[in-house]
Amino acid sequence: METNVESEKHAILKDYRQLLRVARPYMEKGDDKRIRHAFELALDAHKHMRRKSGEPYIHHPLEVAKIVAGDMGLGTTSVICALLHDTVEDTELTLEDIKKEFGATTAKIIDGLTKISKISHQTESIQAENYRKILLTLSDDIRVILIKIADRLHNMRTLDGMSRKNQLKIASETIYLYAPLSHRLGLYSIKGELEDLAMKYTDSDKYKEIAKALESTKKDRAKYINDFVKPLQEEMDKSGLKAKVFGRPKSISSIWNKMRKKEVDFEDVYDKFAIRVILESPLEKEKEDCWRAYSIVTDKYSPQPNRMRDWISHPKGNGYESLHTTVMGPGGKWVEVQIRSQRMDEVAEKGLAAHYKYKENKFKSTNTAEEAIESWLMQVREFLKNPDVNPIDFINDFKLQLYQKEIYIFTPKGDLKILPAGATALDFAYSIHTNVGDTCIGAKVNNKLVPISHVLVNGDQAEIITSRKQRPSEDWLNIVTTSRAKSKIKNSLREEKRKIAEEGKEILERKLNQFKANFTNDNINVLTNFYKAPSSMDLFYGIAKGTINLNDLKQLKNVGGGLEVPRVEKVAKSYEEFVPAPEENGDIPKNAELIIFDESSKFPYEFAKCCGAIPGDDVVGFISINGVIKIHRTGCPNVINLMSKYGYRIIKTRWTANTTPAFLTTIKLNGLDGIGLINKMTSVISSDMKINMQSLSVETKDGIFEGLIKVFVKDNSQVTKLINKLKSLDGVTSVIREEI
């Protein structure tokens, strides 16, 4: 036992020394003592705690601190906050203790990192409310988000020790918010790892399949990269450019996304890796050297004209700068090449954190992409100022701006605005100023008059036309795409609604006087529930607009001026309306397991139509609003969305050893049209595989066919066998099980 204690102490000390090594480049005089003090405080606070894996808990904050310093390049304050990030929530240490030892800034960051334990409204998602608190700290200190992402990354790396239910819940949250947030903050390396780790748990079969395929083709890929890189490196050296040319593999999740998007097999994904050219250039020569390197690359290999991306002249909204081109490499293969300076590469690897150096309790930007970053942060802060909104709506709206591609739009004076692809003239109006958006009646785009719904394209020059008589309306929410515009429109509509609600309030007061009932908060709450209004303001608004009939008051009892409503059972219309606390799911025990097709199962279940699970698929049960358990494939986007918000409603699910029913699934295939091809396909399905077919539809255009076959199968291994047989037919180029 003594040896075990000693070995644990040695492992903790080793972790701590590694942290000091990665943090040293960002440390100033005296910082080592501050970090040591934080480490000792965390070590003592967590001394009796262990992780699910059995190791001492202190390893977790140490690993988070290493990510914060090493992968993000943040300074001493961030390292201290990472070491102490769980102390206030999980130990006896208080925010006051933190403030006393390390100052107000550290205490404020840790407060932002502390999860919510209680919420006031049952109809709000606990997880969404927690997301909101985290995001609100953007208004004060971006480091809260960065440390939270580091915390999530280490949790994902150590997810094996968790229960299956928690694995799915945490992985779903990661896909839903943390990976898109990392993307938007420019943490591309971390974003890729988060997506890969999430896929490992939500779609483990496909993850293993692609990982195995990557491993089996590793040698061939390495040889190809070497053949591609060698002549480029020689030309760079001859030109006098200090350049390093190398290949980097793409993430498993990005390869899978390409396979789904383009409906191709692994072998047909051409960009499984990217070539990087990293230049050692002084700041004033960065652009010039990048374009010189681009010229060398395109002289050596022919570029694809429509695949050139210049993010050096116009950096992305998160500060990303790089030149991208796709060229024809040896053997007729397209290869993506990324060209950037060492500084630009640090930004690409470490994201937003690389833009800032912490000094005197303030972040100071140190590079040319400052305006793009500050512009985005300013929009986010504005959006986050509005707390008077349902947390689910809040997160959904915020998420809108995380993954979208960007376009560049010019004002009449030539100023540049960055908007998401798909943005409209009305979005552009709101990006200028709220008043411009609220009064927008149209726009001139490239000197041509267009409506407010006109979708802008990259490079447009737009001028907004306004009228003082114009007011936002509900249908504007369907026109705009940016979260800023949606938030501003909702604010205006809410203000207008409040004014109308005041009229309804007066009408209700008069009606209650006639009914000899009191106008009190208790009676208003009774009426709000009786009319199924989301809030008292909605009640007053409905009365003013005439959608709530006050003649129904006769159904209520008047007991001494107080109203009593007959007991009415509420029927939920959506998941957002029905979010019971975990203990309210009384019919289903906490650690219950649903076994599909087990006759002894006590739980009602049905298969979700969105993803068509079949035996052998990795599946999960989700308790629906009517108490029926819906069976989804774990990679289904719908269930990932639901699990990210209502993780406690997941129920562990597995198939029985033997299942007899046949399941309908769809096979999609395409290739070159030929005589007798349909006959060959039906022969494989019916004669060779003895599979029943529900339908077959084939469309042919210019000698190319695309077919959809619906078949009844026993399990996914039978589907795999069928796909392989169909692939072997002459003329068939691609066969896939239709994805969600």
Provide CB contacts within 8 A for 333, sequence distance 6+: 224, 270
Helix (DSSP H) and strand (DSSP E) numbers for the chain: 27, 23
Three-class DSSP category at 698: strand
Three-class DSSP category at 607: strand
Q: So which residues are the catalytic ones?
A: 89-90
Q: Distance between CA atoms of 322 and 343, rounded to whole angstroms?
A: 11
Q: What phi and psi values does residue 707 have, to the nearest 5 degrees? A: -125, 150
Q: Beta strands 629-633 and 650-655: pairing type?
A: unpaired
Q: How distant, in Å, are the alpha carbons of 99, 268, 370, 407, 570 from that of 314?
A: 41, 32, 12, 10, 53
Q: Distance between CA atoms of 396 and 128, rounded to whole angstroms?
A: 9
The pairs formed by 175-178 with CB atoms below 8 angstroms and a separation of 24 or more are: 175/202, 175/640, 175/644, 176/399, 176/640, 176/641, 176/644, 176/645, 177/131, 177/395, 177/399, 177/644, 178/148, 178/149, 178/152
Q: Distance between CA atoms of 518 and 553, rounded to whole angstroms?
A: 13
Residue 562 carries which side chain, given as an amino acid letter?
G
How big, in percent rounded to 5, are the helix, strand and coil portions of the chain?
50, 20, 30
Q: Distance between CA atoms of 37 and 103, rounded to whole angstroms?
A: 13
Three-class HEC string of 228-288: HHHHHHHHHHHHCCCEEEEEEECCHHHHHHHHHHHCCCHHHCCCCEEEEEEECCCHHHHHH
Three-class DSSP category at 523: helix
CB 327 within 8 A of CB 337: yes
Q: Which residue has the tokens 């040695």?
A: 10
CB 149 within 8 A of CB 370: no
Q: How many CB atoms neighbour CB 82 within 10 A?
A: 34
Residue 424 carries which side chain, given as an amino acid letter?
T
Provide CB contacts within 8 A for 36, sequence distance 6+: none
Residue 98 carries which side chain, given as an amino acid letter?
I
Where would I find the beta strands (DSSP E) of 172-216? none
Q: How many CB atoms neighbour CB 145 within 10 A?
A: 23
